[in-house]
């Protein structure tokens, strides 16, 4: 897998020439700029990656003829659809890299046609070259209509994340586009300039060449060209300085999340210059290790780019779904911003919010769910979930808001967010132990975990409380989800839980809600809970005898009460699917793995495909009804300023549409097949026509890793891989066992095109891609990871 990223060589300046339209004079501008830069550099390179005209008219030839001192090159002479974007990107990268020697030079890279003219593969010029993200000069359109086409072309470049350093165009006096455009871009602090147009074509081609030569020489000496050249060169230097100083400036100005700042210094901060697809484009002190070939002549030595692609292995804190810098999401965001901006949501409705709510209700396929509440992030959304649950219980059981202590039932190592309410819903831990206002308000159970260890899938009891104290092994991961065949386990879990909860009920513990992260407990350490145990816990919670019962209030203690089984019983069941939902584990709903219908579900992270903060808390009608009365103070008096902001809702709609298409198409079939060994049909025992268990990481790889000596256990599900390393000092969250692996992968090896940026949780190293990451990329990662672990 060849990964080409954004490049920045200190001594090789690269400028990409885009045209607002065809025929606007890109080649003439390139020629003039080449000449202007010749005064400043010994070597000036002109590169036309793809030229589509006949050979004798090809832009690079034209240029070579006109000036012998410019090294001109064309890589592909015809726009053959067989040239993939990746071929061309790699060829341009290699070509540019070969220039990055010596004392200093410049390369002008000319595109073909207009900004969005088709590349050989059919994608656009701007999309083809986006991974390199070279600084751009846009040659504006001096023709009739050129004001509009120039501004639109500039906007198309901006949407795709380009830095447009300048807009240059011919000063065509009839249309005078240049006067308008210079003002327009000046208002937007974008450099713009105009040049006199070239002379009319002379019928005699040799005389024409002489005329043009004169024109080029004159133009290259113009003040406007000098000004642009100086500005561009100085911007290049400033960009490098800024990149290099960003980490130390961050140390000055930023309070980073989740960090002990005594461990922070400029060298521990990664500067992210941009990102595309699965990769960050980073600058760190690590990335400065030379990656070029050694050469005897130091002048001939290839200078490394100070940017390095780094696979975003934490999926940017588990949010990334559709690739960084996705132009479809960018345009969707811009459309919503242009149509609405933000519009307040109290007593109001707009299309994106309504559509998103309806989509969630439909696709979660849970008949209990009825109403969607919007917030801005998972923590706020879980605060809402907690408020919904405990109030519904308080209303039904007649608890006094002031006097009764209402608790949460949950699992140990759960994590629901960083605001005080969600912290209180989690057990005491390193995350909250120093927080003066933290009050653990709950009862948290040990639970059996799923892991692969030494090539075998195992369900291991955790803690002494759980019924069957010995680990069970399973042939296939699928089998663990085959609840039909695990009726003995279910019985044992049920008996244990019933007994345990009966004791709590006798002690009159008031539970306002059961809160679970279905399948995988994320921030608590990437723990894979036995889904059967979670399912049994839901059943036990729904049979819990909360007291006292409010006199005269209908009693619901089992799920077979009124409302067609849609009413909650015992206590509301809340599923925190912020991390696990929306395809992260391969399915829209993580609850579906348990074949359980929760009463409240929270979603975030992947909701916007990895672009923007947005969270939904979806509740059942019976929970909703607890807040309805004639008294305003009975309402859920909660709401954030940007509740249901149209930009977020629109991006979420688009993301769910795209991920739904991936889910329904062949996109993920390759992954599914990786997990369908003999008998691993992956579908048979999954209820409700859900696909079986699969991961982007191959089962073969997971097995191989599980045999490494440093590895305690490993699992993979959906896009998630988690490797639990042996923790010699047993420090849990404070453990540094996984740090070494993380650091090794970030530094990478000599000569590698890209590195891996990852995060750890104590002794657990984990990785996940976007939902669009290709198997080829995952395979390359598997190789790196396998090699990095002993």
Provide the minimum distance between the beta carbon of 721 and its own copies in the complex, in angstroms, as a whole number. Answer: 17
Mode of pairing for the β-strands spanning 760-761 and 764-768: antiparallel
E strand spans, 566-634: 573-576, 600-603, 615-620
CA distances from 103 to 70, 76, 347, 659 (A): 17, 28, 65, 48
DSSP state at residue 788:
H
Closer CB to its own copies, 621 or 672, in the complex: 621
- If one asks whether residue 419 binds its own copies (CB under 8 A), the answer comes out as yes
In the complex with its own copies, the residue whose CB is nearer, 483 or 733, is: 733
Q: Collapsing DSSP states into helix, strand and coil, what is residue 372?
A: strand
Shortest gap between Cβ of 505 and its own copies (angstroms)?
19
- The partner residues of 451 in beta bridges, in order of sequence, read 458
The reply to whether 492 sits near its own copies by the rule CB under 8 A is: no
Burial 158-190 (b: 16+ CB within 10 A, else e): ebbbbebbbbbbbbbeebebbeebbebbeeeeb
**Per-residue contact flags (x/-) with its own copies for residues 127 to 146, judged by CB under 8 A:** ------x----------xx-
**In terms of CB distance, is 433 or 689 closer to its own copies?**
433
- SS3 at position 279: strand
665: contact with its own copies by CB under 8 A: no
The C-alpha atoms of residue 381 and residue 618 are separated, in whole angstroms, by 9
Q: Specify the residue, 144 or 210, whose C-beta has the smaller distance to its own copies.
A: 144
Q: How far apart are CA 491 and CA 478, in angstroms?
A: 20
Applying CB under 8 A, among 22, 173, 234, 547 the residue interacting with its own copies is 22
94 in helix, strand or coil?
helix
State the minimum distance, in angstroms, from the CB of residue 107 to its own copies. Answer: 22
Task: Considering only the stretches 34-42, 293-301, 393-401, 678-686, report the one whose residues sit in contact with its own copies under the rule CB under 8 A.
Answer: 393-401
Whole-angstrom Cα distance, residue 217 to residue 215? 6
Binding its own copies (rule: CB under 8 A), the pick from 1, 240, 438, 727 is 438
Scan residues 81-120 and list those touching its own copies (CB under 8 A).
Answer: 113-118
> If you compute the radius of gyration of the chain from its CA atoms, what whole number of angstroms results?
30
User: Using an 8 Å Cβ cutoff, are 563 and 639 in contact?
Assistant: no
Among 399, 668, 671, 675, binds its own copies (CB under 8 A): 399
* Closer by beta carbon to its own copies, 359 or else 545: 359
Distance CA 196, CA 219 (A): 8
- Considering only residues 756 to 775 of the shown chain, the ones binding its own copies according to CB under 8 A are 759
CA torsion 545→547→550→556, rounded to 10°? -10
The span from the CA of 692 to the CA of 674, in Å, is 12
Chain residues 187-216 in contact with its own copies, contact rule CB under 8 A: 188
In the complex with its own copies, which residue's Cβ is closer, 80 or 204?
Answer: 80
DSSP bridge partners of 280: 275, 310
Q: Does 632 bind its own copies (CB under 8 A)?
A: yes
Stretch that binds its own copies, among 190-198, 201-209, 427-435, 696-704 (CB under 8 A): 427-435
254 in contact with its own copies (CB under 8 A): yes
Cα four-point dihedral sign 113, 114, 117, 123: positive
Q: According to the binding rule CB under 8 A, does residue 186 interact with its own copies?
A: no
Q: Is 539 a binder of its own copies (CB under 8 A)?
A: no
CA distance 534 to 480: 12
User: What does the DSSP assignment read for 61-82?
Assistant: HHHHHH-TTEEEEEEESS--TT
Q: What minimum distance in Å lies between the beta carbon of 41 and its own copies?
A: 27
Cβ count near 351 (within 10 Å): 14
User: What is the greatest pairwise CA distance in the chain?
Assistant: 104
Distance CA 167, CA 185 (A): 8
CB 133 within 8 A of CB 91: no
645 binds its own copies, rule: CB under 8 A = yes
Site for its own copies in 320-359 (CB under 8 A): 320, 323-331, 333-351, 353-354, 357-358
Residue tagged 């790889």 (tokens): 701
Binding-residue total with its own copies (CB under 8 A): 168
Sole binder of its own copies in the list 27, 51, 432, 724 (CB under 8 A): 432
Q: Which among 32-40, 160-168, 202-210, 557-565 is the span making contact with its own copies, rule CB under 8 A?
A: 160-168
Q: Does 161 bind its own copies (CB under 8 A)?
A: yes
Tokens for 225, please give them.
Answer: 């060209």
Contact between 373 and its own copies by CB under 8 A: the answer reads yes
Q: Which member of 27, 101, 270, 719 binds its own copies (CB under 8 A)?
A: 270
Applying CB under 8 A, does 424 fall inside the site for its own copies?
yes
Chain centroid to Cα 281, Å, comes to 14
Using alpha carbons, list the distances in angstroms from residue 140 to 30, 150, 765: 13, 5, 50
Find the binder of its own copies among 437, 470, 551, 552 (CB under 8 A): 437
List the interface residues with its own copies, window 540-579 (CB under 8 A): none
Sorted by sequence, the CB contacts under 8 Å of residue 542 that are 6+ apart come out as 557, 558, 559, 568, 569, 570, 571, 573
Q: How far is the CB of 141 from its own copies (least distance, A)?
A: 9
- The pattern of x and - marking residues 27 through 66 that bind its own copies according to CB under 8 A reads ----------------------------------------
Q: Which of 648, 692, 748, 769 is in the footprint of its own copies by CB under 8 A?
A: 648
Q: How far apart are CA 32 and CA 37, in angstroms?
A: 9
- For position 739 contacting its own copies by CB under 8 A, the verdict is no
Name which of residues 224 to 253 contact its own copies (CB under 8 A): 242, 246-247, 249-250, 252-253
Question: Which of 40, 61, 73, 264 touches its own copies (CB under 8 A)?
Answer: 264
- Span 600-629, contacts to its own copies by CB under 8 A: 604-605, 610-613, 617, 619, 624, 627-629
Segment near its own copies (CB under 8 A); pick from 81-89, 314-322, 458-466, 540-548: 314-322
For its own copies, which residue of 312, 478, 517, 567 counts as binding (CB under 8 A)?
312
> Contacting its own copies (CB under 8 A), which of 90, 159, 231, 662?
159
Question: CB-wise, 105 or 320, nearer to its own copies?
Answer: 320
Of 308, 295, 293, 307, give the one whose Cα is nearest residue 751: 293
Q: In this complex, which beta carbon is closest to its own copies, that of residue 265 or of residue 495?
A: 265
The bridge status of strand 43-50 relative to strand 70-76 is parallel
If one counts every other C-beta atom within 10 angstroms of the C-beta of residue 661, the result is: 10
Nearest approach in angstroms of CB 530 to its own copies is: 26
Q: Which is nearer to its own copies, 589 or 620 (CB)?
A: 620
Among 206, 294, 433, 564, binds its own copies (CB under 8 A): 433
Q: Judged by CB, which is closer to its own copies: 425, or 591?
A: 425
Cβ-in-10-Å burial (0-12, 13-18, 19+) of 739 comes to middle
Whether a cis peptide bond, with omega within 30° of 0, leads into 484 is no
If one counts every other C-beta atom within 10 angstroms of the C-beta of residue 151, the result is 19
The distance of closest approach from Cβ of residue 43 to its own copies in the complex, given in angstroms and rounded to an integer, is 30
Using rule CB under 8 A, residue 314 touches its own copies: yes
Residue 376 interacts with its own copies (CB under 8 A): yes or no: yes
**Minimum CB distance to its own copies smaller for 209 or for 242:** 242
**Whose CA is closest to 319, among 575, 691, 614, 527?**
614
> Rounded CA gap, 726 and 742, in Å?
15
Q: Does residue number 660 form part of the binding site for its own copies (CB under 8 A)?
A: no
Interaction of residue 256 with its own copies, rule CB under 8 A: yes
631 near its own copies (CB under 8 A)? yes
- Closest separation in Å from C-beta 408 to its own copies: 10
Contact yes or no for 111/26 (Cβ under 8 A): yes
- Contact residue for its own copies among 160, 597, 775, 784 (CB under 8 A): 160
């Amino acid at each position: 897998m060849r990964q080409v990223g954004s490049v920045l060589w200190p001594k090789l300046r690269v400028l990409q020439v885009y045209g607002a339209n065809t025929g606007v004079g890109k080649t003439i501008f390139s020629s003039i700029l080449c000449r202007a830069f010749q005064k400043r550099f010994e070597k000036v390179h002109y590169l036309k990656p793809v030229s589509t005209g006949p050979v004798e008219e090809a832009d690079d030839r034209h240029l070579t003829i006109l000036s012998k001192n410019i090294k001109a090159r064309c890589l592909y002479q015809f726009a053959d659809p067989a040239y993939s974007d990746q071929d061309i990107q790699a060829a341009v990268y290699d070509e540019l890299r070969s220039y990055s020697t010596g004392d200093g030079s410049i390369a002008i890279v000319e595109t073909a046609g207009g900004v969005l003219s088709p590349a050989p593969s059919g994608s656009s010029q701007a999309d083809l070259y986006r991974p390199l993200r070279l600084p751009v000069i846009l040659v504006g359109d001096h023709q009739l209509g050129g004001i509009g086409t120039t501004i639109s072309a500039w906007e198309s470049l901006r949407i795709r994340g380009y830095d447009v350093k300048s807009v240059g165009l011919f000063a065509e006096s009839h249309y005078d586009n240049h006067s308008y455009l210079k003002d327009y871009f000046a208002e937007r602090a974008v450099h713009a300039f105009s040049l006199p147009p070239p002379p009319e074509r002379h019928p005699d081609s040799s005389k024409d060449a002489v005329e043009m030569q004169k024109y080029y020489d004159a133009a290259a000496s113009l003040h406007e060209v000098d000004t642009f050249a100086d500005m561009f060169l100085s911007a290049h230097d400033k960009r490098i300085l800024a990149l290099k100083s960003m980490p130390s400036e961050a140390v000055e100005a930023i309070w980073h999340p989740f960090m002990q700042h005594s461990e922070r210094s400029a060298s521990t901060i990664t500067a992210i210059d941009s990102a595309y697809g699965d990769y960050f484009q980073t600058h760190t002190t690590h990335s400065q290790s030379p990656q070029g070939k050694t050469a005897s002549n130091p002048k001939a030595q290839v200078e490394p780019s100070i940017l390095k692609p780094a696979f975003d292995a934490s999926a940017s804190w588990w949010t990334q779904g559709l690739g960084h810098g996705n132009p479809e999401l960018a345009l969707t965001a811009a459309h919503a911003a242009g149509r609405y901006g933000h519009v307040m949501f109290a007593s109001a409705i707009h299309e994106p919010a309504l559509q998103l709510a309806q989509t969630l209700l439909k696709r979660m396929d849970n008949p209990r769910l009825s109403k969607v509440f919007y917030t801005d992030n998972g923590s706020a959304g879980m605060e809402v979930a907690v408020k919904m649950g405990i109030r519904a219980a308080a209303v039904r059981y007649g608890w006094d808001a002031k006097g009764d202590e209402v608790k949460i039932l949950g699992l140990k190592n759960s994590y629901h967010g960083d605001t005080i309410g969600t912290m209180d819903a989690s057990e005491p831990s390193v995350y909250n132990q120093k927080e003066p206002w933290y009050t653990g308000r709950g009862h948290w159970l040990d639970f059996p975990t799923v892991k692969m260890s030494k090539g075998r899938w195992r369900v291991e009891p955790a803690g002494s409380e759980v019924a069957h104290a010995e680990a069970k092994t399973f042939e296939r991961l699928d089998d663990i989800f085959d609840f039909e065949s695990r009726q003995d386990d279910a019985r044992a879990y049920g008996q244990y839980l019933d007994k345990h909860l009966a004791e709590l009920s006798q002690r009159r513990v008031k539970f306002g809600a059961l809160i679970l992260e279905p399948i995988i407990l994320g921030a608590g350490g990437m723990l894979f809970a036995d889904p059967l145990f979670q399912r049994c816990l839901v059943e036990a919670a729904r049979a819990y005898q909360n007291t006292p019962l409010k006199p005269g209030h209908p009693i619901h203690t089992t799920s077979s009460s009124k409302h067609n089984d849609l009413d909650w019983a015992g206590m509301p069941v809340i599923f925190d699917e912020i991390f696990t939902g929306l395809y992260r584990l391969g399915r829209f709903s993580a609850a579906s793995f348990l074949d359980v219908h929760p009463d409240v579900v929270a979603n975030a992270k992947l909701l916007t495909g990895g672009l923007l903060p947005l969270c939904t808390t979806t509740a059942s009608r019976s929970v909703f009804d607890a807040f309805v009365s004639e008294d305003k103070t009975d309402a859920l008096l909660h709401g954030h300023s940007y509740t249901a902001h149209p930009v977020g809702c629109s991006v979420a709609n688009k993301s769910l549409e795209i991920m739904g298409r991936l889910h329904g198409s062949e996109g993920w079939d390759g992954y599914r097949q990786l997990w369908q060994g003999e008998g691993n049909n992956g579908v048979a025992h999954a209820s409700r026509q859900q696909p079986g268990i699969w991961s982007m990481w191959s089962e073969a790889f997971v097995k191989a890793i599980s045999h490494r000596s440093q590895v305690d256990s490993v699992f993979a599900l959906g896009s998630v891989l988690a490797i639990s390393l042996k923790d010699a000092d047993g420090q849990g969250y404070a453990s540094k066992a996984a740090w070494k692996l993380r650091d090794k992968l970030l530094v990478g090896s000599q000569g590698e095109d890209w590195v891996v940026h990852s995060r750890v949780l104590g002794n657990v190293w984990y990785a996940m891609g976007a939902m669009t990451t290709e198997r080829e990329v995952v395979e390359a990662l598997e190789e790196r990871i396998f090699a990095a672990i002993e």
